[in-house]
Structure 1
Amino acid sequence: MKKNVFFPTVLLALFSTALFSCSDDSNDDPSNGEENTSSVKTRAEAEALANAVYGPLQTLSSSYTFLVESATETTISFEEVDDSKDGPQVSVFETTPSNWYPIKVFNRLYKSIGAANLAIEEIGTATSNSNLTDADKALLVARAKFVRGYSYFQLVQLFGEVPLVLTSKSTERTRASIDVVYDQVVNDLTEALPNLPAFDSNKSNPTQNAVNTILAKVYLTWGQKPITSAEISAIAGTTDPTKPAPDTEKLQKAVDYANKVINSGKYQLLDSYNSIWGVANENNAEVIFSIHHDGDGIDAQGNHQTHCGFTWPKSARTDPHISYADITLENRIPSEYDTRKQFSYATRVEYTDGVVDTLTWPVSIVRPGKWIHRTTDGTYKALDAQPNSIDHIDFRYAEVLLIKAEALFFSNKASEALTVVNEVRKRAFGGHYEHGGKLSTLTKEDLYNEWDYEFAFEQKHWLNLVRWRTLLTQVKTTVPNYEYYKPEYKSAATIKAAFPEIANKINAAFYARVHTHLHAKVDNLNGKFYRFPIPLSEDYTNLGITPQNPGY
């Protein structure tokens, strides 16, 4: 079993407070001028407080998939038998404030923030001694600030304007502006940076390189002027809002922070694309920051990204929790020499006992291949069980390179961006790089495609489409061209009539369900889906946060 770097998650109940547990007082002095009342006396007690911030994040490793994958053209969710359930609702653009996935993500991120606030205050005001030195305190407060900044970055991308909860005395419910939230993210991360180690071989521990990576992504996103509530309200029909001219100063900061990570020399693109994932490959040289998992019953929640993306091994006819939306998606990566294709889109899996799953017509549908727990001796071979103890990779080195490339491209430095993109493609194509892999020019579409090819099903796609303001166009122009969108897939009867020679082999009810989902994606598409709704609390009561996002 892996060494658990976190303290027992029962500490979460002791040290994290209610959802909005902080006041709107933005004074950075954790004591607020009051006499020191911290009960923290030892490093162990301080570590327990600091580690409590991670528990809520462990519960989100798979939940992000149901938001930032399902709410795009690429995936459909069959999480439950009933299509009115939470996963399918997001998949067909029927998300509401009472949907479990926005509820869970929003509330758990704020629980992590509440735990971070308490850690910052209690550890910051604790008396230094032989068991809790000033260096100990500085490190642990830095870890808490790292997670608070990280959590607010997630919130502002998914929900837009959100309340800033910065101390343990607040009942703040008013939503701060986009720029104010981004300012807070930058403040937390830059304040954390000097007291964190530059590098840690355990990638679940915050480091300066992790800070620099997230700051690069922050400035890339902020520099492209994130969409505001007012802009969403003004969207007409399903026409994407116009992408504004970028803030090139912020994009330059994205480049600068990316270069800090690149120039550190601590990370690299692995020679084999498939070596990035799996229990045996954790903490590899490409991973920069991950969420640690030991599995269900051990940590707060195992990493179900592995299960949800590859549900029911050896039962190909059983509807997966979430999967690619169409057979044509395996051709999004056009070249057969691009190794990302065979590991990102699984059409066939052979298990160690000889059982074979054919994950395509007429039995099932193409599945995400990155999370299949493979044997070491074959692209298509898998172990018999899918573990949920695989650490969740939040940021890896390839993303740093594409962050830099995108920032350069939108700063009118396409030739410089081309060199960086080709670095990523060189690993993907290996020996075929000079014969089809190397790009001679870089267009906006090339850049967008590279993100898609490299990070398929890694919880980046919706964030990318929103940042580029292409979400609506991508759904409405892509989905109607899918194979399973065609009228012959409307029902089990029409499917069997269209393919009489194999009618007895077709999983007809499954493909009819896919057809229904795809049409619902197009029919329900709306500009409001540039945001997720401000949700209810976890007990399904109103949080009192106003105003609600447009359209909800």
Structure 2
Amino acid sequence: MKKYSPLILLMILLTIPFQSCEDDLDVALNENQSEIDILNNPASAIKLANGVYSKNLEYDMNAFSWIGITSITSDDADKGSTPGDTGSDKNKLDALDFVSSSTSFTDVWKARYQGIGRANRALYYIQQLDLDPVFKNRLIGEIKFLRALWYFDLVRCFGGVPIVTTVIDVNDFESVNNIVYVRKSKQETYAQIELDLADAIEKLPLKSQYSQEDKGRATKGSAQALLAKAYLYQEKWQQSYDMAGEVINSGEYALLADYAQVWRQVGENKSESIFEVQATLTNGIQDYTNVQGPRGVPDMGWGFNTPSLSLTNSYEAGDLRKAATIMFIPSVLWDGIVAPTTLNNPRYNYKAYQSAVAEDWDGNRGMTAKNLRVLKYSDILLIRAEAGFHIGNTGEALSRINEIRHRAGLADAPDVTLQSIWKERRWEMAMEHDRWFDLVRTGQAQTAMAADGKTFVVGKHEVFPIPQEQITASGGRLTQNNGYN
């Protein structure tokens, strides 16, 4: 096997199973540099941090597979495309026919561990650099936020997972077998998420304290928002309520006046944005919009992940979020483009639409300059409401729900129930990769799936199967989730 210096190995993507040294390496820096060169060059730190962020742009992280397991599985969306186009395994995801060999689960698992590997290696080097302490701590906080975000995805998808927080030598078989290939409990995984986010909160600046050139980086509010959400999933109601309150009371965020603009270019990094994946024409999120673009004539995409009738029919009359979320065919779109009857499906995801005439566009559908919203202020208002309801603060819950309803063009709700909060969450967050997880964590999945003509198996479908190739590579050390082969 070829030998590479530690520097050349600097940005190898850590994956499970590990890639061999003969595989393509993602090396961000000059391969002729020595390790001491890097450690003595503070400018390297920002390159290392940016290399961690850039994983979010890759196809296997936030595109087809993530869309499939977070949205197509749910009652908010159908497979779409054409009846004969399975999308590799998206037909099985739509039918809740989960199998451990599915490409989507493999992609989601590997992409996040690759990101975690980048984070671990970047932290290893940055902690050794001679940097301004405030700047150094900020970069460490940013990277720990990203690592926590990816572990949050993993624990929601698979339950307890291996926790890798250090650089592992691929030739250290003992560490590989005892750390990389050993699942921790769900509780231990959340504990690691909380640990990373607590440190990030201490180290990160507020959104307003960043310069314009650093917009889009993780902030104190990003870490607080993700921690509030992680507490919510663990039913730590008081902690979730308090942490959401930190975000709200910071004065850093506010709802945009027009819900329809939240997912358009005009709304990027504005007051409602807590964390977005930053995309440009030359460095976009690979195929995120293309996967969901209208299919047919004219051809604007692959046509997957179409809003369901269940979602369409669920809105209250007059809810402005319906028309902002669902692209109805035929119609004239917000930018004046005509979406005719020659398109294959009657509905498409409007939030994923990238305008070729009113937004940055160079004709490359596979690499558009559309940011992906990961955490937004309305999500925090909903978290505050739900956690508040559970601790008996129904007044606060109702106030936050009505704040959201006002923006949606709806009248005040006279009172609040847990079910009404969940409904508002569905409408506010529709097609934003939360619905499946919300159904599972709130115990609504079996009933909601049955109403949508699907069978949710209690005791099995709360988590997805561990990818079979990972179990095989581990020699059986990784254990499979209940009910899967």
Query: Normalization by structure 1: what TM-score?
Result: 0.73
Change in 2 beyond 3 A, CA 1:209/1:84:
closer
- Deviation track 1:235-262 (CA, whole Å, cap 9, x = no partner) reads xxxxxxxxxxxxxxx2111111111111
Partner of 1:342: 323
Moved more, 169-178 or 363-372: 363-372
Distance 1:208 1:66, change over 3 A: same
Deviation, structure 1 residue 286: 0.6
Q: Is the 8 A contact 2:293 2:301 kept in 1?
A: no
Partner of 2:119: 116
Contact kept? 1:15, 1:115, Cα under 8 Å: yes
Seen in structure 2, the aligned counterparts of structure 1 residues 267 and 303 have a Cα distance that, compared at 3 Å, is farther
Corresponding residue to 2:440 among 449, 463, 466: 466
Aligned to 1:16: 12
Partners of 1:527 and 1:194 in 2: CA distance: 38
- Equivalent of 2:288 in 291, 301, 305: 305
What is the number of equivalent residue pairs in this alignment?
440
Q: Structure 2 residue aligned with 1:70, among 63, 69, 72?
A: 72
Q: Percent identical across equivalent pairs?
A: 27
Question: In terms of Rg, which structure is larger?
Answer: 1
Deviation at 1:309, TM superposition (A): 2.6
| Change in 2 beyond 3 A, CA 1:391/1:136 | same
- 1:278 is displaced (CA, Å) by 1.9
Letter in 2 for 1:339: L
| 1:370 partnered with 2:351 | yes
Q: Report the equivalent of 1:286.
A: 272
Corresponding residue for 2:452? Answer: 479
Q: For the Cα contact (< 8 Å) 2:290–2:302, is it kept in 1? A: no
* Structure 1 residues 207-235: Cα deviation after superposition (integer angstroms, max 9, x where no partner): 10111111110111112xxxxxxxxxxxx
Query: 2:406 matched to 1:426?
Result: yes
Match of 1:240 in 2: none
C-alpha deviation, 1:264, in angstroms: 1.3
State the 1:356 CA deviation: 3.7
Residues 16 and 470 of structure 2 are in contact (CA less than 8 Å); yes or no, is this contact kept in structure 1? no
For 1:96, the equivalent position in structure 2 comes to 99
Counterpart in the other structure of 2:223 = 211
Judge which range, 162-171 or 382-391, deviates more.
Answer: 382-391
Match in the other structure for 1:438:
412
Structure 1 stretches of 5 or more lacking a match?
1-10, 23-35, 224-249, 481-520
Distance 1:162 1:88, change over 3 A: same
Maintained 8 Å contact 1:117/1:166:
yes
- Aligned partner of residue 332 in structure 2, secondary structure: strand
Structural mapping, 1:77-92, within 5 Å: 77-78=79-80, 81-83=84-86, 85-92=88-95
Asked if 2 retains the 8 angstrom alpha-carbon contact of 1:537 and 1:543, the reply is: no
CA distance 1:181–1:356, change in 2 (3 Å): closer
TM-superposition CA deviations, 1:413-446 (whole Å, max 9, x none): 22321111011101111xxx4xxx2100112221
Q: Are residues 383 and 318 of structure 1, via their aligned partners in 2, closer, same or farther at CA, if it must alter by over 3 Å?
A: closer
- Give 1:464 deviation, angstroms: 0.5
Find the aligned partners of 1:340 and 1:154 in 2 and give their Cα distance. 26
SS in 2 for 1:205: coil
Q: 2:186 aligns with which of 178, 190, 195?
A: 178
Q: CA deviation at 1:458?
A: 0.7
Conserved in 1, the CA contact under 8 Å of 2:10 and 2:121? Answer: no
What whole-Å deviation, never above 9, does each CA across 1:52-75 have from its counterpart, x for those lacking one?
A: 212322222223221111112222
Is the alpha carbon distance of 1:190 and 1:446 closer, same or farther for their aligned partners in structure 2, counting shifts above 3 Å? same
> When the two structures are superposed, what TM-score results if normalisation uses the length of structure 2?
0.82
In 2, Cα distance between equivalents of 1:525 and 1:79: 27
Residue 216 of structure 1 contacts residue 253 of structure 1 at CA under 8 Å; is this kept in 2? yes
Q: Alpha-carbon deviation of 1:155? A: 0.9
Residue number in structure 2 paired with 1:151 = 150
Distance 2:253 2:143 in 1: 24
TM-fit CA distance, 1:180: 1.1
Aligned with 1:266 (options 252, 260, 270)? 252
1:549 equivalent in structure 2: 481
Deviation at 1:528, TM superposition (A): 1.8
Deviation of the 1:538 alpha carbon? 8.6
After TM superposition, give the deviation of residue 18 of structure 1 in Å. Answer: 2.8
Deviations 1:16-72 (A, max 9, x none): 3432599xxxxxxxxxxxxx9894221221222222212322222223221111112
Q: Deviations over 1:374-407 (max 9, x none)?
A: 5999xxxx99996722010001110010000000
Local SS of the residue matching 2:199: helix
